[in-house]
Amino acid sequence: MSGIVQGVGFRPFVFTLAERLRLVGFVGNDGAGVFVEVEGPAPTCDAFLKAVQQDAPPLAVVESVRHRTIPTTGEAGFRIVESGAAGTQITAVSPDVATCDACLREFNDPADRRYRYPFINCTNCGPRFTIIKDLPYDRPLTTMAAFAMCAACDAEYHDPRSRRFHAQPNACPACGPRMSFARTPAPEETQIGEAALQAALGVLSAGGILAVKGIGGFHLACCATSAAAVATLRERKGRRDKPFAVMAADLSAVRQFSTVSVAEEALLGSSQRPIVLLERAQNPTTEIVRDVAPGQTTLGVMLPYTPLHTLLLAAGPLVMTSGNRSEEPIARDNDEAWTRLRALADAFLTHDRDIHVVCDDSVVRVIDDREQPIRRSRGYAPFPVLLPTPTPMVLGVGAELKATACVSRDHYAILSQHIGDLGNLETLQAMEHACNHLLRLFRVTPDRVACDLHPGYESTRWAERWAGAHSVPVVRVQHHHAHLAALMAEHGEVGDRPILAFTFDGTGYGTDGTIWGGEVLLGDYRSFKRVAHLRETPLPGGDAGVRHPARVALAQLRAAGVEWTEALPCVSAIPPDHRRVLHVQLERRLNCVDTSSMGRFLDAASSLVGVRHEVTYEGQAAIEFESMARGAVSAATYAFALTNEADGSLVFDGGSVLREVAADVQRGTAHSQIARGVHEAIAALVERVAHDVSQRHGPLAIGLTGGVFQNALLLSLTRRRLERGGYRVLSHHRIPPNDGGIALGQVMVASHTPVV
């Protein structure tokens, strides 16, 4: 049997099943997965074969089962055999898993020896990836090595009938990790266990900020219904507008402030326990502070995924944001957290189980009843992507923002947890750590390393250094080509026919040295053709210019021949003297780069209708623009002008839309209607270009990728149009459409690139 069948309770499952069916034989792990020999009447053996696949343990993913009939050997009973090769299988490392129902029942049972024990776990749940230092997955190679099991735990660990048979993090109050509490700035006065919890709850209900050690790192927590607490957290973290996530005790608590669909409910309660973006309820019975997610109609919500969280939520819904200062990676060990977070938190609720790998919470959104990952991290990493064909061993280092790394071997690509934006030394070190960990854990010795085409990216430079040190070639992959390849890989495309990928994002280095981002690529893993793109406009201030949508708007209006009149919100947002400077800058093209970015087009549109003129986090203007469009009852009609270039490619002009938008703004058309119209125009554009290109190249699958397609309204409108038109549409359901998926695409392209 192969697939995810090790470290997930497969052997005890087989053992129990065989005993129940009164079969004799044995089960064990080997390098390929799990092997079983059973002896008994033929119909019972058939029933066994069926049940092994149908009733597999919750965390197992059975990819294939091969079986054959052999002569009987006269086994006396059923046993679990040891195997030297156990645990070296690539899929042996499970992501971290939220507390299971069986453990929760014990946790809530006053008669159980683990009653209210914050570290209760079993073979079906608990920390995994974040505590594993190396393979085989055995307690000595995890951060649980420091805890010697008591007699009771040890007995469970060795009993195949126990839910804790070979559960590596197995622990109880007598032998396992403990919580402790300390107030800043006086770490001497610590409290342990239940007293620690009560002290922590006291801090939260008094409106304080609590640093909480979880599975993948530290969170900063505060009461989500206290405006003062949320304001303090924003101020101390240096984070003005970027939304915080909220953790609530259970689904009924979530329904008090958010709407929850069936698909959203399933995700909230899944063993991955991601943050799910939910619409705020119209008439909430619990008022989550507006400032938790300013300017948005959605709220990021998650349910507790460790028993410690369950205890903490007695304080009501909590803001739970990663324990870091803005732009730094999430804090990992106790000393580091103390140093970095003591200025931010009033107190610490921590514990003595070490975190080996830092892992932020994952974020997903449900669009048209299907999951779209926005950040794929805790609970998902390092779950492999199953590839359609075998791949060489490759390391991909991603781009610059939302960085992840990826390694590949055999039929698998393994994406790392979310690392963050590679703007500083800490994140670069985190990325190096993640790469080395993946390479070691999955025994990957790359024969090439893949990176972005952008020469200025930290990740590119790191890849060059790494390649030099290991004497392997570097494969530079164009950013949007990587998006396309990641989408194809997610959908198991073999690569024998190209797809037409609408790759809309903020920034990516183009093959012509300009900044791309509104690209229509016809391509496969090997190569691509840029068959259409958004007309370039100047971006004043280059990369720094992205923080100022109003300036972007003015530049694009000028390019579209629209006069800068005070009647336009984006114009009045900029003081006249600044406008004069900007005019000169654009006139003489000083410190301006050309960009075909769809992200910048949306920024410009957003500022033009007065939604947002300055941003404090990536994508803010577009996100708030989407929120506005969702409130529309009807849509204005706009269209992108299309022109044929001499080289046969198509260019679509954002200026034609902005001219009409500017006129509507001056006419006093409802802003939500305008915003909706811009979304509709992009969807219509995609359909027109898809039609045009398919006419010339024959039927093509249409891909929708890039950070812009995190916009649920846009994705939904576009997909509906395309599907009505009979196209096969590929969008993201397992890999983020944003740069969090780039490393996978790089690996795919590099693995199809001949290297010497």
Peptide bond between residue 392 and the one before it cis (omega within 30 degrees of 0): no
Q: Does 103 bind Zn ion (CB under 5 A)?
A: yes
* CB closer to Fe ion out of 618 and 739: 739
Pairing of strands 245-247, 298-302: parallel
Q: Of Zn ion, Fe ion, none, which one does residue 172 interact with (CB within 5 to 8 Å by kind)? A: Zn ion
| Footprint of Fe ion on 713-732 (CB under 5 A) | none
**CB-based closest residue to Fe ion:** 505
Among 5, 153, 167, 552, binds Zn ion (CB under 5 A): 153
Q: What's the rounded Cα separation, in Å, for the pair 400 and 463?
A: 12
Find, among 421, 454, 449, the residue nearest to 435 by Cα: 449
Partners of residue 702 on adjacent β-strands: 500, 729
- In sequence order, what E strands does 579-662 have? 592-595, 641-644, 650-653
Q: Of Zn ion, Fe ion, none, which one does residue 153 interact with (CB within 5 to 8 Å by kind)? A: Zn ion
* CB closer to Zn ion out of 150 and 581: 150
C-beta of 342: minimal distance to Zn ion in Å? 32
In sequence order, what are the residues at sequence separation of 6 or more whose Cβ sits closer than 8 angstroms to the Cβ of residue 420?
Answer: 327, 328, 329, 360, 402, 403, 427, 430
> Is residue 408 within 8 Å of 444, Cβ to Cβ?
yes
Among 65, 141, 145, 150, binds Zn ion (CB under 5 A): 150
* CB closer to Zn ion out of 127 and 541: 127
Q: Of 233-241, 274-282, 576-584, 733-741, which part binds Fe ion (CB under 5 A)?
A: 733-741
C-beta of 351: minimal distance to Zn ion in Å? 15
* CB closer to Fe ion out of 213 and 402: 402
* CB closer to Zn ion out of 153 and 742: 153
Q: What's the rounded Cα separation, in Å, for the pair 129 and 381?
A: 8
Q: Of Fe ion, Zn ion, none, which one does residue 595 interact with (CB within 5 to 8 Å by kind)? A: none
Among 23, 172, 222, 401, binds Zn ion (CB under 5 A): 172
- Contact string 111-140 vs Zn ion (x = CB under 5 A): -----------x-xx---------------
* CB closer to Zn ion out of 101 and 194: 101
Partners of residue 302 on adjacent β-strands: 247
Q: What's the rounded Cα separation, in Å, for the pair 626 and 615?
A: 15
Q: Of 170-178, 224-232, 277-285, 465-473, which part binds Zn ion (CB under 5 A)?
A: 170-178
Here the tokens at position 89 are: 């299988």
Q: Of 148-156, 399-407, 539-547, 715-723, which part binds Zn ion (CB under 5 A)?
A: 148-156
C-beta of 170: minimal distance to Zn ion in Å? 7
C-beta of 619: minimal distance to Fe ion in Å? 11
> Is residue 295 within 8 Å of 315, Cβ to Cβ?
no
Q: What's the rounded Cα separation, in Å, for the pair 581 and 461?
A: 35
C-beta of 144: minimal distance to Zn ion in Å? 11
C-beta of 741: minimal distance to Fe ion in Å? 9
3-class SS of residue 40:
coil
Q: Does 175 bind Zn ion (CB under 5 A)?
A: yes
C-beta of 134: minimal distance to Zn ion in Å? 24
Which one-letter DSSP state was computed for residue 739? G
* CB closer to Fe ion out of 603 and 739: 739
707-710-712 Cα angle (round to 5): 150
Here the tokens at position 204 are: 């939260």
CA separation, residue 241 to residues 202, 237, 617 (Å) = 27, 11, 7
Among 224, 739, 746, 749, binds Fe ion (CB under 5 A): 739
Q: What's the rounded Cα separation, in Å, for the pair 74 and 563?
A: 91
| Footprint of Fe ion on 459-518 (CB under 5 A) | 505
Burial call 222-247: b when 16+ CB within 10 Å, e when fewer:
bbbbbeebbebbbebbebebbbbbbb
Which residues here bind Zn ion, judged by CB under 5 A?
A: 100, 103, 122, 124-125, 150, 153, 172, 174-175
Which residues here bind Fe ion, judged by CB under 5 A?
A: 505, 739
